[in-house]
Structure 1
Amino acid sequence: MSDSSVTVCRHKLYKVLVIGDLGVGKSSVIFRYVNKCFDEKYKMSIGVDFALKTIEWDAQTVVRLHLWDIAGHERFKQMSRAFYKGAMGALVVFDIANRSTLIGASEWKQDLDKKLSLDNGQPIPVVLLANKCDMSEKDEELLASLDNFCKENRFVGWFETSAKKGINIDEAGAFLVKQMMLCDTGPSNEMLPWDRITARQAPEESQIRPWCC
């Protein structure tokens, strides 16, 4: 007789964009988030890289994030509609020591909102990362402005982060996942027995594949 009490797990798969100006640390943020480490020699993206992050969200839910690391070259803003398609959330990264990259973050967010929305017409949830917070003295004036900046540009929130030190990377990721799940009114991508899913099931989790255009 089969066991009718087997726990069924919801399996969610979300495409997440990681965007921002050149050199703000997008690839390092992803590498820290997926691999739990930092590589001083990590190469700058020249196209689009991919990574997979698997999370046991709760006892009944496994979330897989397909992270798209889009190069910060200006030309990718003109090509990004195809890259954005199907994304459920995004991280926009800027360099806390370089104010011009905050302007760039606003431009990336505006571009994203023009080209992508949820089924109900609302913007997808986007979190702002004030990255490299370990690199210099904090600009308190800039930090104090970020609440209004996020409100004006329709970010759902922001975090000071450091890919090098691992500061707030997991917290920002968890916050974005929560926001995406609140917006997700569709069925689970897949229904699987709980005993078939573990955090180690996806050997590709720590792999990053480049796609250069």
Structure 2
Amino acid sequence: MSNVPMVTFKVVVIGDYGVGKTSLCRRFAKKTFTFEYKPTIGIDILVRQISLPYIGKAILQIWDTAGEEKFKRMIPMYFKGANYALLVFDLTRRRTFDSVMEWYELLKGSIGEVPLILVGNKLDLEDKRQVDRSEAISLSKSLDTITYIETSALDGRNVENAFRLPAEYIIRKLAEEQVRA
């Protein structure tokens, strides 16, 4: 048995209400999905252990934040100590994409630069899409995010990657720094 402590990543998941943040978090952490919508009040924390290159097992501590306007002022206090963030919008609701910049500024203004992935959710509702993939990719590049990814919490498409890619990115960067040192 190894005495090496397990690495824990704090992941904050942000975005407007109803974009599917809670569904994404539950799909990833518990492998479940429900059609029932219950807005998050403040914060909900889920945990999942994963295996990562170079370090083996790691814990992802997922902070699912409220997206409603009335909670927006208290949300930044949950950002402290975050290793990375998922900024989620709903592919079927244009206004949630239009507010991505506001969420980005809130995050950056609270804790500075943090590895970020832009997530377009509800890919399973392709026929109701209101945000073009190329437009989302362009915004992702302008915000210097790790990447842009489209997900479906309903059928699980790309959910695993949305949470894993930033952790793998951080580990890879740390490994590169070690090699240069």
Q: CA deviation at 1:141?
A: 6.6
Residue 162 of structure 2 is matched in structure 1 by 172
Q: How does 1:31-180 map to 2 (within 5 A)?
A: 31-58=26-53, 60-117=55-112, 123-137=113-127, 139=129, 142-180=132-170
Q: Would you say the 8 A contact 1:93–1:131 is kept in 2?
A: yes
Q: CA deviation at 1:52?
A: 0.5
Distance in structure 2 (CA, Å) of the matches to 1:58 and 1:183? 12
Stretch deviating more after TM superposition (44-53 or 58-67): 58-67
**Structure 1 residues 178 and 21: CA distance shift in structure 2, 3 A:** same
Q: Would you say the 8 A contact 1:10–1:61 is kept in 2?
A: no
Q: Which runs of 4+ in 1 moved over 4 A?
A: 6-10, 138-141
Greater share of helix: 2
Secondary structure of the structure 2 residue equivalent to 1:49: strand
| Aligned residues: CA RMSD | 2.2
Distance in structure 2 (CA, Å) of the matches to 1:184 and 1:86? 17
TM-score for the superposition, normalised by structure 1: 0.75
Distance in structure 2 (CA, Å) of the matches to 1:138 and 1:108? 23
Q: Would you say the 8 A contact 1:162–1:169 is kept in 2?
A: yes
Which structure is richer in relative contact order (CA contacts within 8 A, separation 6 or more)?
Answer: 1
**Structure 1 residues 26 and 79: CA distance shift in structure 2, 3 A:** same
Distance in structure 2 (CA, Å) of the matches to 1:105 and 1:116? 17
Q: CA deviation at 1:94?
A: 0.5
Q: CA deviation at 1:59?
A: 7.4
Q: Rg bigger for which structure?
A: 1
Secondary structure of the structure 2 residue equivalent to 1:135: helix
Residue 20 of structure 2 is matched in structure 1 by 25
Query: What whole-Å deviation, never above 9, does each CA across 1:12-37 have from its counterpart, x for those lacking one?
Result: 11111000001000000000001112
Unaligned runs of 5+ in 1: 1-5, 118-122, 186-213
Matched length: 175
Unaligned runs of 5+ in 2: 176-181
TM-score for the superposition, normalised by structure 2: 0.87
Q: State the percentage of identical aligned residues.
A: 32
Q: CA deviation at 1:179?
A: 2.1
Query: What whole-Å deviation, never above 9, does each CA across 1:168-192 have from its counterpart, x for those lacking one?
Result: 000111111112324558xxxxxxx
